[in-house]
Amino acid sequence: MPEILLHFAIPFSLAKTKFSLKQTLLVASLALVPDMDVLLRIHRSMTHSLVVATLVSIPVLTGVYIKKRKYLALAAACYLAIVSHILLDVFQTYTPILYPVLGESIRVKAEGSVVISSTITPRVTASVQTKPTDFTVFQTLDAPLYTSEGLVSSTMLIAVPILLSMRLRRFRENAG
Ligand SMILES: [Zn+2]
């Protein structure tokens, strides 16, 4: 899994452009739900399946649409936050993204670099790797909470939208 702080920060930065801070915190927090499987000592279980997430979300979204339509965008954002977690994991490691339809966990590896000498040579590689899905209980889990790069990125992703909304509110107060 990419570090947990990044799983939170990316949907936070996107949701903050549309929702209140409280609603944004809800959306971003739900992006952490797939990793709750570690409490069962199984990591990247069916909580990391787009199929399962979608099947669970359809009745919830339908219920929100019927009973509380004004919250439909928020509910959809919550679903997309969970999806963002799963997609981020796919680019990090083997993830059972299509469980139970596909018994394989998928990893997408994409890398790009450039060699600059007398010429400029870009190198781009992308591959999809699979291995059988395995929900074995782990004995130990060594997962990063944050890295230096992730901490800086996450801080920016959280702080910039907050600062922008504060500045926008102050501008509106002065204009009004
Ligand atoms: Zn995960």
The pLDDT assigned to 175 comes to 85
Residue 35: Cβ within 10 Å count: 19
Backbone angles phi, psi at 151, to 5 degrees: -65, -45
Q: Find the mean pLDDT for residues 56-77.
A: 97
The pLDDT assigned to 40 comes to 87
Q: How far is the CA of 133 from the centre of ligand 1 (A)?
A: 14
Q: How far is the CA of 71 from the centre of ligand 1 (A)?
A: 26
Could you read off the pLDDT of 118-170 as tens digits, one per residue?
A: 999 999 999 999 999 989 888 888 877 788 998 999 999 999 999 998 888 88
Where exactly are the structural domains of the chain?
Answer: 4-175
Could you read off the pLDDT of 8-25 as tens digits, one per residue?
A: 999 999 999 999 999 999
Mean pLDDT of the residues in the chain: 93
Q: Find the mean pLDDT for residues 96-103.
A: 96
Q: How far is the CA of 94 from the centre of ligand 1 (A)?
A: 10
Share of the chain above pLDDT 70, in %: 99
As a whole number of angstroms, the distance between CA 20 and CA 24 comes to 6
Q: Find the mean pLDDT for residues 31-39.
A: 93
Q: How far is the CA of 82 from the centre of ligand 1 (A)?
A: 10
The pLDDT assigned to 141 comes to 80
**Secondary structure class of 57 (helix, strand, coil):** helix
Q: How far is the CA of 101 from the centre of ligand 1 (A)?
A: 19
CB distance 74 to 60 below 8 Å: no
Q: What are the structure tokens assigned to 67, written together? A: 């009973």
Q: How far is the CA of 35 from the centre of ligand 1 (A)?
A: 5
Task: Give Cβ neighbours of residue 78 (< 8 Å, ≥ 6 apart).
Answer: 26, 27, 30
The pLDDT assigned to 87 comes to 96
As a whole number of angstroms, the distance between CA 43 and CA 127 comes to 23
Q: How many residues does the chain have?
A: 176
CA-wise closest residue to 23 among 65, 84, 82, 75: 75
The pLDDT assigned to 35 comes to 93
Q: How far is the CA of 119 from the centre of ligand 1 (A)?
A: 40
Residue 135: Cβ within 10 Å count: 14
Q: How far is the CA of 85 from the centre of ligand 1 (A)?
A: 6
CB distance 89 to 106 below 8 Å: no
Q: Find the mean pLDDT for residues 83-97.
A: 95
As a whole number of angstroms, the distance between CA 176 and CA 12 comes to 28
The pLDDT assigned to 143 comes to 78
Q: How far is the CA of 126 from the centre of ligand 1 (A)?
A: 21
